[in-house]
C-alpha cells in the first residue's frame, strides 16, 4: 500500500495537497535540518567546537543559488537564443526577476539535463564556498577559548544577514530574488523531487560522517574534545585539525542552504535567520544527544514535526493565545533548551562507545582490572614525587618479592 501511495505521489501530475503536502513539507525540512544538525554534531558532539554560526554557513548556500547559479542560468539561457529582459543592473536584477524566471522556466521545461547539471554545479560551488567561509570564521577565534568562538560566530550570523539585506546583487536585498525552477521538466510536483533529493543528500552525508567518525581521524577528533592539551603534547596539530573540521562541516551545511533556495524557488535573507538556523539545530542536537548521529536523527524528527504541526495549526493556536505563534515558539525554544540541558544533559539517546574494527572496546572498558597491592608494598610506601616514580620504575623486583 505504501508503495502504491509513493508511486502515485511520484507519477501524479497534480500538485501535492492536504496531508500529503504536510508530509512532504516535514520530509523536506527534516532533510534540511538533519544535514545542518549532523554537521553540528560532527563539530560540537565529536570535536567539541561550539559552532554557533550555522546560520552563516547556511546563508552562504542560499547566496550561491541566488548570486551565482541564477546568474549563470540567465547568461546561458540568454546565449541559447531566448529573449530575456535585462538583468545586469541592480534595479533590473530585482524588478525583472519574476518575469525572467517565468521566461527561463518555460525554456527549462524541455531541458532535464541542463537542470540536473545546474543542481550539481550549485551543490559543488556551495560546498567550496562553505568551506572557504569555514576557514574565514575560524580565523579570529579558533586558537582561543570556546566562548570567544561562540561570540564571534553569533555576531557573524547577524553580519551575513546585514550584507544580504543591503548588497542588492547578492540576493535582491529585502525583496529577494526568484530562482529558476530546475525541475520544470518533471510533470509532477517539484517540491516532492526536492524533498527526495534532500533526504538522499542527508543520507549520503550521514554515511560520510559515520565513516569519518569511525576512522582514526574520528578518534583523533574525540581525543581533542576530551583533552586538547594531551593531543597537542603527542604531536598533533590541534588548531589545524579543528580548522579542517570546521571547513568540512561548513561545506556540508552550506548545501542545505542551497537546497532551501531551490525548494522555495526564492531566496531572501529573512529566510536564513539566526534563530531558525542556529538555535533550532542546537536544540535538535542537544535533545537527541550530542555525540551520536542516531540521537541527532531522533531530535531532528521530533523538533521538525513539532514545529510544522504548530505552524499548520497556527490559526487555532492564535485563538487560544492573544499573541502571534512566532513569540510562542521563542518561549518554547528557550524552555525546551533549558529543560533538556537540566534534566537530560546526555540527550534522549546518550553517546555510545566508539566502534573500532577488530577491537572489543566494550570488553576493555567493562573488564575489571584486579590489582594485587600485596605484590608491591615497597613501591606503595615509597615517597611521592619524581624520586618515588623512578624507584618504582627502577624495577626492584627482588625487594618486592621479599
Among 156, 194, 245, 349, binds another protein (CB under 8 A): 156
Residues 6+ apart with CB under 8 A from 340: 283, 286, 287, 347
Specify the residue, 101 or 283, whose C-beta has the smaller distance to another protein.
283
Spell out, one character per residue from 275 to 294, where the chain touches another protein: x when CB under 8 A holds, - when not: x---x--x---x--------
Specify the residue, 275 or 309, whose C-beta has the smaller distance to another protein.
275
Count of positions (residues) in the chain: 402
* Site membership for another protein, residue 342 (CB under 8 A): yes
Specify the residue, 75 or 147, whose C-beta has the smaller distance to another protein.
147
Tabulate helix, strand, coil % of the chain (nearest 5): 75, 0, 25
Bridging pattern class, strands 266-267 and 177-178: antiparallel
The Cα 261–Cα 196 span in angstroms is 15
* Site membership for another protein, residue 15 (CB under 8 A): no
8-state DSSP, 373: G
Residue with cell 501530475: 13
Residue with cell 550539481: 120
* Nearest CA among 342, 263, 353 for reference residue 62: 263
Among 162, 294, 306, 364, binds another protein (CB under 8 A): 162
Specify the residue, 207 or 327, whose C-beta has the smaller distance to another protein.
327
Q: How far is the CB of 365 from another protein (least distance, A)?
A: 22
Q: How far is the CB of 238 from another protein (least distance, A)?
A: 17
Residues 6+ apart with CB under 8 A from 44: 50, 51, 285, 290
Subset of 26-85 contacting another protein (CB under 8 A): 50, 52
Binding segment for another protein (CB under 8 A), chosen from 159-167, 196-204, 210-218, 227-235, is 159-167
Instruction: Give the Å distances, CA to CA, from 310 to 30, 240, 275, 337.
Output: 15, 43, 17, 18
Element (H, E) at 266: strand 266-267
Specify the residue, 215 or 330, whose C-beta has the smaller distance to another protein.
330
Binding segment for another protein (CB under 8 A), chosen from 116-124, 176-184, 321-329, 392-400, is 321-329
Helix (H, G, I), strand (E, B) or coil at 177: strand
Subset of 95-134 contacting another protein (CB under 8 A): none
Judged by phi (left if over 0) then psi (alpha if -120 to 50, else beta), residue 289 lies in left
Binding segment for another protein (CB under 8 A), chosen from 195-203, 331-339, 366-374, 382-390, is 331-339
Among 200, 204, 306, 338, binds another protein (CB under 8 A): 338
Q: Are 74 and 293 in contact (CB under 8 A)?
A: no
Q: If binding means CB under 8 A, how many residues of this protein chain bind another protein?
A: 41
* Site membership for another protein, residue 139 (CB under 8 A): yes
Residues that bind another protein (CB under 8 A): 50, 52, 139-141, 144-148, 150-152, 154-156, 158-159, 162, 165-166, 275, 279, 282, 286, 322-324, 327-331, 333-335, 337-338, 341-342, 345
Amino acid at each position: 500500500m505504501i508503495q502504491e501511495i509513493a508511486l502515485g505521489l511520484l507519477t501524479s501530475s497534480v500538485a501535492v495537497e492536504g496531508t500529503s503536502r504536510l508530509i512532504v513539507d516535514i520530509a523536506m525540512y527534516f532533510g534540511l535540518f538533519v544535514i545542518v544538525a549532523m554537521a553540528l554534531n560532527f563539530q560540537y558532539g565529536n570535536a567539541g567546537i561550539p559552532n554557533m554560526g550555522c546560520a552563516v554557513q547556511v546563508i552562504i548556500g542560499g547566496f550561491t543559488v541566488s548570486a551565482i547559479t541564477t546568474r549563470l542560468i540567465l547568461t546561458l539561457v540568454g546565449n541559447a537564443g531566448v529573449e530575456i529582459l535585462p538583468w545586469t543592473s541592480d534595479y533590473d536584477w530585482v524588478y525583472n526577476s519574476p518575469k525572467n524566471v517565468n521566461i527561463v522556466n518555460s525554456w527549462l521545461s524541455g531541458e532535464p539535463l541542463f537542470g540536473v547539471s545546474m543542481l550539481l554545479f550549485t551543490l559543488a560551488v556551495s560546498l567550496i564556498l562553505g568551506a572557504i567561509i569555514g576557514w574565514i570564521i575560524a580565523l579570529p577565534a579558533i586558537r582561543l577559548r570556546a566562548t570567544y568562538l561562540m561570540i564571534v560566530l553569533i555576531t557573524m550570523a547577524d553580519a551575513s544577514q546585514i550584507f544580504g539585506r543591503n548588497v542588492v546583487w547578492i540576493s535582491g536585498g529585502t525583496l529577494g530574488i526568484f530562482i529558476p525552477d530546475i525541475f520544470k521538466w518533471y510533470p509532477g510536483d517539484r517540491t516532492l523531487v526536492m524533498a527526495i533529493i534532500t533526504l538522499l543528500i542527508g543520507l549520503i552525508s550521514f554515511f560520510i560522517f559515520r565513516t569519518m567518525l569511525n576512522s582514526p581521524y574520528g578518534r583523533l577528533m574525540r581525543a581533542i574534545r576530551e583533552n586538547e592539551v594531551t593531543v597537542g603534547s603527542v604531536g598533533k596539530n590541534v588548531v589545524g585539525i579543528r580548522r579542517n573540521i570546521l571547513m568540512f562541516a561548513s561545506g556540508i551545511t552550506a548545501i542545505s542552504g542551497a537546497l532551501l533556495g531551490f525548494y522555495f524557488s526564492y531566496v531572501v535573507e529573512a529566510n536564513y535567520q539566526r534563530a531558525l538556523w542556529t538555535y533550532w539545530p542546537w536544540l535538535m542536537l542537544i535533545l537527541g544527544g550530542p555525540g551520536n548521529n542516531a540521537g541527532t536523527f531522533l531530535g531532528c524528527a521530533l523538533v521538525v514535526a513539532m514545529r510544522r504541526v504548530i505552524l499548520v495549526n497556527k490559526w487555532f493556536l492564535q485563538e487560544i493565545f492573544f499573541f502571534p505563534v512566532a513569540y510562542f515558539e521563542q518561549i518554547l525554544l528557550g524552555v525546551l533548551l533549558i529543560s533538556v540541558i537540566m534534566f537530560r544533559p546526555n540527550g534522549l539517546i546518550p553517546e555510545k562507545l566508539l566502534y573500532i574494527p577488530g577491537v572489543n572496546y566494550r570488553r576493555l572498558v567493562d573488564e575489571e582490572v584486579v590489582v594485587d597491592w600485596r605484590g608491591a608494598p615497597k613501591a606503595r610506601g615509597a615517597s611521592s614525587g619524581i624520586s618515588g616514580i623512578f624507584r618504582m620504575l627502577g624495577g626492584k623486583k627482588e625487594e618486592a618479592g621479599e
